[in-house]
Amino acid sequence: MAQISEKTVLNMSRLPILMSRISRSFLTLAVFSIVALSSSFSAFSDTTATAASATANPALISQGEQLFKANCKSCHQIHKDAVGPALSGVTKRRKADWIYSWVHNSRKMIDAGDKTAVELYNKFNKAEMTSFPTLANADIDAILAYVESVPVPTEVVPPVPGQETTAPKGGGEYDTVILSLIIVVLILVLVAMIIFLTVIKRYLKEREGKLDAEDKELVDQKFDIKAFVQSKAFIGIVVAAFVIISVRACWISAQEVAVEQNYAPVQPIAFSHKLHAGDNKINCNYCHTGAYKGKQSNIPSLNICMNCHTYVKSGPKYGENEIKKLTDAYAAGKPVRWVRVHNLPDLAYFNHSQHTQVAGIECQKCHGPIEEMEVVKQYSNLTMGWCINCHRETAVNSKDNAYYDRLLKVHEESKKKGDMTAEEIGGLDCSKCHY
């Protein structure tokens, strides 16, 4: 291999100066990157969430929240009128005895000619409130305590079309900033290398006449792409890359067997969760009655549908066509043959109430933003790995539950950081889901 002669090396008197300038440029670039990263860390660390307001009796409010979601949410909102009146401030508008009587048997009060009861009945289109004779006065007090504890939500102004909106800062934005900085740094390094090579090439070109034959051969040599492609090293790299990519593709394909994420079948009736759960704020538990008390969430019977559609005969999107399919099936005594969307294999045991009632997990955790879906789809992949990750990351809902007192004590004595997760109480045992 030809080497540059000693004479040529001595002629490169300006090369140290060039290297010094490039080194200073790299040092400046590194300092800029460190400062930018430090600023991002500081901005991210300063972002904190607003703490919830303290309450006098959190246990009573927690009990009231569960009762409200199970019995009231399908018809009532706290700060806005819905099917029934807004409940905020009801303890100031009505006496406790009147509220107890109204909840236990609203029809009895209307028939008795109670002035306030009749006014409410007429104001809300003569929609009779469901009676709850089994609710004790203490249960009603708990619901009222929860209702009065919920602050008035801040009204969100919808963005003007074409106007940019600022998203709240969080981990996602922080990751984007870091990724952007890394890309910028890599681009600057690439530009610096190109400039360096250009300067060296120009420097050698200027001294082309002073180079001897061996040096000229080294400077003028060209890249032989044919020889490079035929080289053993290149062929080996290509074969290895092909094998790795093929094995990875087969592995990923094997993992996707029987995974039905984003599966959204066409249903016999165009039912919109966006309209019912989103726009009308109907609680999931009103239709899926087993979600909070049983293994299965269950598909609602036609009787539940007809509670509303005995009176509501036309929808905002499809008019009377889709609702008529429902009423015709009800009149004929035939069930609607809905197509199942979420279907776990028989070898896996899953209990809805254990997650919704005991753990306090919202439906959206697994089913996604169901209140925004016109057509329901399988939002999560529901694989074993997905479930295991959730058990590793989700803190146990031990609030007002004496069952976990000893486990919490053991967790605190172990000096482990963070909350006690489902993993620590056997959430990864095979027998939990497979037996």
pLDDT in tens, 366-386: 999 999 999 999 999 998 999
When computed from its CA atoms, the radius of gyration of the chain, rounded to whole angstroms, is 34
pLDDT digits (tens, 9 = 90+) for 121-161: 888 888 888 888 888 999 999 999 998 898 887 654 444 44
pLDDT digits (tens, 9 = 90+) for 215-248: 666 566 666 778 778 888 889 989 999 999 999 8
Q: Give the model's pLDDT for residue 17.
A: 53
Q: How far apart are CA 413 and CA 398, in angstroms?
A: 17
pLDDT digits (tens, 9 = 90+) for 386-428: 999 999 988 888 877 788 888 888 888 887 778 888 888 888 9
Least confident span in 46-50, 70-74, 354-358, 366-370:
46-50
What are the boundaries of each domain within the chain?
Answer: 6-45+169-225, 58-149, 226-257, 273-433
Check the CA dihedral 129-71-335-371 and report its sign: positive
Mention the CATH class of domain 58-149.
mainly alpha
- Average pLDDT, rounded, for the chain: 80
pLDDT digits (tens, 9 = 90+) for 315-365: 888 888 899 999 999 999 999 999 999 988 889 999 999 999 888 899 999
pLDDT digits (tens, 9 = 90+) for 247-295: 988 988 887 777 888 999 999 999 999 999 999 999 999 999 999 989 9
Nearest to 275 by CA among 311, 328, 310, 322: 322
Q: Which DSSP string corresponds to 368-400?
A: -SGGG-SS----S---HHHHHHHHHHPBP--TT
Q: How far apart are CA 369 and CA 277, in angstroms?
A: 10
pLDDT digits (tens, 9 = 90+) for 83-128: 788 898 989 899 999 999 999 998 999 999 999 989 988 888 888 8
When pLDDT is averaged across residues 14-35 and rounded to a whole number, the result is 54
Predicted TM-score (pTM) of the model is 0.46
Q: Give the model's pLDDT for residue 323.
A: 93
Amino acid code (one letter) for 140: I
Nearest to 89 by CA among 102, 76, 79: 79
